[in-house]
Structure 1
Amino acid sequence: MTDVALTAAQQTAVQRRTVLVLSFGQVLGGIAFGATVSLGALLAADISGNDALSGLATASVTLGAAACAIPLARLAARVGRRRALTLGNLFALVGIAVVILAAALRIFPLLLAGILMIGAGNAGNLQSRFAATDLAAPQHRGRDLSIVVWSTTIGGVAGPLLLGPGEIVGQAIGMPPQTGSYLFSFVAQCAALLLYIVALRPDPLLAAQRLAKASTAATGAVAVDRPRVARYAIFAIAGSHVVMASVMAMTPVHLSHMAHGAGGMAASPADVSALVGITIALHVGGMYALSPVFGVLADRWGRLKVVLLGQVLLAGALAFAVFTGTEAWGVMVALILLGLGWSAATVAGAALLTEASAPELRTRRQGRSDSLMSLSAAAGSVLAGVVLSNFQYSGLGIAAFVLVVAIVALSPLARSGVR
């Protein structure tokens, strides 16, 4: 069966299998990323001997993803999604090996280099959600994208849960301390790489490109490119991500301050850790649990309406942060709404970006979107720390609200021709 000869029924079957393969790949790839986020800061603090340097681990993951998003997208445009995704897996595999070596030799710069490469591999994970739209029918594009996004939850939760068993296995085979769970990550990345090589056939992007060329040759119709809409989609995705990342990053610090403040909660470390863990878990649930719902709504209501629904939810989250941020329950509600708003805006925004771009420009813009999203979130998290230290949690909520207003104010740019 050639890509050009795909019938409508065959295309549907191929797309269904593609979404299934990408979803399994996201679960496997998410295990490595979840372990890196959980262990990276601990390893950085231990090897460097300075807690202040632990944040460089998270920064390295973000920078790695940002640096490789555009190159991987350009590679996908030339040779297909399968090769680009497997290259991302290879980056992650090398990164895991480098991290283990750095822990054994106790070399801090080498540790950051390994974490950077794992972040580069995560750029491939981000690209998977766009790969789900290559062969998707327009009326199901949001749904298929959101299913792949939702599957990230499984790997993201499984990675941290494997820390304990990983340390037991690592000690049994003589691995460096705090690196045992990377063994599971390495196995998962190998499985993802083999999955993409064997099962991601036909390549969804190459098949979509050939089908588009065949359609153009048969009908003479040329796909319409809407750069203004695409630019708005990129801005909405990045802006929503900054709002989420900046508030989420500072919430554990704020909860710790609350616990030790006058009239606050119990100040024991165990109580603080439990509160932070529950709050972040609820936030992650909000980010991913309902993403298929927002995908279906984006297909039925239209992409822009769901992007704006995301801004309403983000505004609600910031309102709770401003007015009830001194209460634990208020922070929890704020973080749940923050996750829901992010999910709606990014799922619908990614679908809007895909269909606003002509096929020959699509992957390039998708790479730019991922790169800008990662870089802006890193910058936003750093600035959020400054705002929190000077204007408290409520001030952070007000500052983030500016971005929400900007996304809503610029929405008329995306109204022309939107489904």
Structure 2
Amino acid sequence: MATDLTAPRTARPDVASIQRRTLRLLFGTQIIGGVGVTIGIAVGALLAARIAGTAVAGIAQSAGVVGAALLAIPVTRIMARHGRRPGLVVAYAVGAVGGVLVVLAAATRWVPLLFLGMLLFGGGTAANLQARYTAVDLAEPARRGRQLSVIIWATTIGAVAAPNFAALADRVTSGWGLPPLAGPFAFSAAAFVLAGGVLLVLLRPDPLLTARRIAATAAPTAAAPTAAAPTAAAPTTAAPAAAVVAEAPAAGGQVGGGATPAAAPVGARLPRGAGMRAAWSVVRGQPAARLGIAAVAVGHLVMVAVMAMTPVRLGESHADADVLRLVGIVLSLHIAGMYAFSPIVGWLTDRLGRRAVILGGVGLLLAACAVAGTAGHHTPRLSVGLVLLGLGWSGTMVAGSTLLSESVPAGVRPSVQGLSDLTMGLAGAGAAVAAGFVMQVAGYPVLTLLAAVATVPLVALALRPVPTGASDEEG
């Protein structure tokens, strides 16, 4: 196997073959998993309202978001120790258990079981989120953004198809004796089992473990000049006992004004199976990683805050008979903005640079807040705002995730990615809660204004001057 990720293509045919196979598997399982997640979300609030009442229906939905965020910790710990395959399989298995518990809660009308089931149901979302990182473990530097975005784009198929399956699933399972609205969660559990089973059998060799072997093989070559002629810049601080895991330099990938992506420092010592504390230590020392995490979290926060209250905004000016239809149309357009154009966003990320696309995504988020916040009760203009909101989220998600993945060493990468998903999930859950309060006290225009203000720290971080001699993406 080749010892350098930047070696000529002919020198590493095995890596290219493994990557193509990985992308095909992830694309297929992302569709299946996307159907599982969305089919449950489509009826989750309605089921919760019937069991526990309307007042707590939103909390039940938020439990799934929080569950996905919290599950990122154990899932990425498994990945750090054993590879991507067992981590993804465990996440889908937890999601399947959650779906079964929700069905049991519907049958018994036991509210605590409903909340536990929704919390575990977030495992499906956690698996879908981690799949995007799996796509870039072996990706060529110049194609990381595109290959990550293709996996995000696959979610579009599941997200669009799933709501149409919800009614069918409910009709089919009604003959099995299941209560109304429980059937979609039974189908979700089956979808998670199928996706996890496919990965368990076919995701071999594991892309993360393969990337680590390549990095470990490249490390002695990269470190040889340092051994022969030590410099004052060599790391001297002791770290937790661990093997030295180095990242191969990411040369050859044009990002941001022709510069190459930042390579993780060769010789960085990483704790075996590094957890959240070690991940945070690595992120603090890598400006590019901080920017990547901030882009994903802030983009998600703004998107959730505005999107969550849009149905309420529509309900202010439309009768009950029309509002559900309009909500479906507007949110479908929003989802299309989030996912449908992600391959283009990925291409731009590789072509223009991670930082440039992050700033472009922020610009779209600001435009979305301006358009939606000033739309009044004009539904077409509000729809345009929600499309722009989805596009802005796509820019920060794709470019931020790509930048984060290539900015940290392979040994700690899963933990750092888990930290990012945890931060993103908690930011989204907090935004949803705060948005409801702001909407009630001050109204939708003020909510969009505050969401726009929330992007200021990200803009400041992205515009931070690049030190002399550092790459554009290193910031």
**1:253-332 matches, cutoff 5 A:** 253-259=312-318, 267=319, 269-332=320-383
In 2: Cα distance, 1:166 partner to 1:2 partner? 48
Partners of 1:229 and 1:414 within 8 A in 2: no
In 1: Cα distance, 2:408 partner to 2:186 partner? 40
Identity %: 42
**1:360-399 matches, cutoff 5 A:** 360-399=411-450
Q: Secondary structure at the match of 2:173?
A: helix
Counterpart amino acid of 2:422? S
TM superposition shift of 1:251: 0.3
TM superposition shift of 1:101: 1.1
Return the TM-score normalized by structure 2. 0.83
Partners of 2:3 and 2:217 within 8 A in 1: no
Aligned match for 1:163, one of 163, 166, 173: 166
Structure 1 equivalent of residue 274 of structure 2: none
Structure 1 equivalent of residue 471 of structure 2: 417
Structure 2 equivalent of residue 20 of structure 1: 24
Structure 2 equivalent of residue 209 of structure 1: 212
In 2: Cα distance, 1:89 partner to 1:3 partner? 33
**1:11-410 matches, cutoff 5 A:** 11-48=15-52, 50-220=53-223, 222-223=246-247, 224-225=264-265, 227-259=286-318, 267=319, 269-410=320-461
Q: Secondary structure at the match of 1:358?
A: coil
TM superposition shift of 1:4: 10
Q: 1:348 to 1:276 in 2, by over 3 A?
A: same
TM superposition shift of 1:318: 0.9
Q: Secondary structure at the match of 1:359?
A: coil
Moved more, 313-322 or 302-311: 313-322
In 2: Cα distance, 1:305 partner to 1:235 partner? 14
In 2: Cα distance, 1:173 partner to 1:35 partner? 19
Counterpart amino acid of 1:178? L
Counterpart amino acid of 1:72? V
TM superposition shift of 1:174: 1.6
Counterpart amino acid of 1:363? P
Q: 1:169 to 1:314 in 2, by over 3 A?
A: same
Counterpart amino acid of 1:303? R
Q: 1:231 to 1:414 in 2, by over 3 A?
A: farther
1:346-401 C-alpha deviation (Å, 9 max, x unpaired):
10000011111122222111100000100011111111111112221111111011
1:64-92 C-alpha deviation (Å, 9 max, x unpaired):
11111122112101100000000011101
Aligned residues: 410
Partners of 1:228 and 1:413 within 8 A in 2: no
1:306-341 C-alpha deviation (Å, 9 max, x unpaired):
000101111111110232233112211100000000
Counterpart amino acid of 1:191? L
List gaps (5 residues or longer) in structure 2: 225-245, 248-263, 266-284
Counterpart amino acid of 2:46? L
Counterpart amino acid of 2:139? A
In 2: Cα distance, 1:274 partner to 1:171 partner? 25
Partners of 1:228 and 1:414 within 8 A in 2: no
In 2: Cα distance, 1:286 partner to 1:85 partner? 26
In 2: Cα distance, 1:124 partner to 1:97 partner? 17
Q: Secondary structure at the match of 2:96?
A: helix
Counterpart amino acid of 2:346? G
Moved more, 320-329 or 206-215: 320-329
Counterpart amino acid of 1:398? L
In 1: Cα distance, 2:455 partner to 2:388 partner? 14
Q: Secondary structure at the match of 1:360?
A: coil
Write 1 or 2 for the structure with the bigger share of helix: 1
1:176-195 C-alpha deviation (Å, 9 max, x unpaired):
22112233223222211121
Rg larger for: 2
1:110-142 C-alpha deviation (Å, 9 max, x unpaired):
011111111133212110000001000100000
Partners of 1:283 and 1:335 within 8 A in 2: yes
Moved more, 184-193 or 23-32: 184-193
Q: Secondary structure at the match of 2:144?
A: helix
Partners of 2:40 and 2:184 within 8 A in 1: no
TM superposition shift of 1:418: 3.1
Counterpart amino acid of 1:160? P
Q: 1:179 to 1:132 in 2, by over 3 A?
A: same
Structure 2 equivalent of residue 262 of structure 1: none
Cα RMSD, aligned residues only: 1.9
In 1: Cα distance, 2:175 partner to 2:341 partner? 40
List gaps (5 residues or longer) in structure 1: 260-266
Partners of 1:229 and 1:413 within 8 A in 2: no
TM superposition shift of 1:47: 1.2
